Amino acid sequence: LFGLAHGGEVGMPLNGVSGCGFNVCMYVCSANGSDSKKQRLDESPPSRVLHIRKLPNEVSETEVIALGLPFGKVTNILMLKGKNQAFLELGTEEAAITMVNYYTAVTPQVRNTPVFIQYSNHKELKTDSALNQRAQAVLQAVSAVQDGSSPSSDPGVLDLAPPPSPVLRIIIDNMFYPVTLDVLQQIFSKFGTVMKIITFTKNNQFQALLQFSDPVNAQQAKLSLDGQNIYNSCCTLRIDFSKLVSLNVKYNNDKSRDYTRPNLPAGDGDSANKDHSSLLGTPSGALASYSSGGGYSSSLSLSPLSAAAAAAAAAGRVALSGSGVSGVLLASNLNDEMVTPQSLFTLFGVYGDVQRVKILYNKKDSALIQLSDGNQAQLAMSHLNGQKVFGKVMRVTLSKHQTVALPREGLDDQLLTKDFSGSPLHRFKKPGSKNFQNIFPPSATLHLSNIPEGVTEEDLRLLFSNNGGTVKAFKFFQDHKMALIQMSSVEEAIQGLIDLHNYDMGGNHHLKVSFSKSTI
Q: Are residues 59 and 95 in the same domain?
A: yes
Whole-angstrom Cα distance, residue 68 to residue 88? 8
Q: Are residues 131 and 58 in the same domain?
A: yes
% residues pLDDT > 70 (the chain): 72
pLDDT of residue 28: 26
pLDDT of residue 67: 84
Residue 458 lies in a domain: yes
Residue 36 lies in a domain: no
Residue 366 lies in a domain: yes
What is the per-residue pLDDT across 173-198, written as a single tens digit (0 to 9) for each?
A: 887 777 888 889 988 988 888 999 99
Q: What separation in angstroms does the CA of 162 have from each of 22, 145, 214, 217, 219? A: 37, 10, 12, 12, 9
| Residues 79, 258 contacting (CB under 8 angstroms) | no
How many domains does the chain divide into? 4
pLDDT of residue 461: 95
Whole-angstrom Cα distance, residue 343 to residue 497? 9
Q: Are residues 177 and 222 in the same domain?
A: yes
Q: Are residues 96 and 134 in the same domain?
A: yes
Residue 229 lies in a domain: yes
Q: Are residues 389 and 472 in the same domain?
A: no
Largest Cα–Cα distance of the chain, in whole Å? 85
Domain span at 175: 167-258
Q: Are residues 96 and 131 in the same domain?
A: yes
Q: Are residues 62 and 98 in the same domain?
A: yes
* pLDDT greater at residue 349 or residue 468: 349
Phi, psi of 213, rounded to the nearest 5 degrees: -75, -20
Among 313, 340, 307, 332, residue whose Cα is nearest residue 428: 313
Statement: residue 114 has pLDDT above 60: yes
Q: What separation in angstroms does the CA of 293 have from each of 74, 107, 226, 433? A: 19, 5, 14, 17
Statement: residue 322 has pLDDT above 60: no
What is the per-residue pLDDT across 30-72, written as a single tens digit (0 to 9) for each?
A: 233 333 333 333 367 999 999 999 998 878 787 788 888 777 7
Residue 159 lies in a domain: no
Residue 280 lies in a domain: no
Q: Are residues 252 and 178 in the same domain?
A: yes
Q: Are residues 54 and 135 in the same domain?
A: yes
Residue 511 lies in a domain: yes
CATH number at residue 85: 3.30.70.330
Q: What separation in angstroms does the CA of 429 have from each of 235, 312, 328, 424? A: 21, 16, 18, 9
pLDDT of residue 297: 30
Calculate the CA 227 to chain-centre distance: 12
Q: Helices 61-68 and 215-225 sit at what angle, rounded to 10 degrees?
A: 90
Give the domain-ending residue among 258, 287, 317. Answer: 258
Q: Are residues 347 and 403 in the same domain?
A: yes
* pLDDT greater at residue 89 or residue 37: 89
Residue 38 lies in a domain: no
Q: Are residues 411 and 332 in the same domain?
A: yes
Overall average pLDDT of the 208-218 stretch = 91
Give the domain-ending residue among 241, 258, 275. Answer: 258
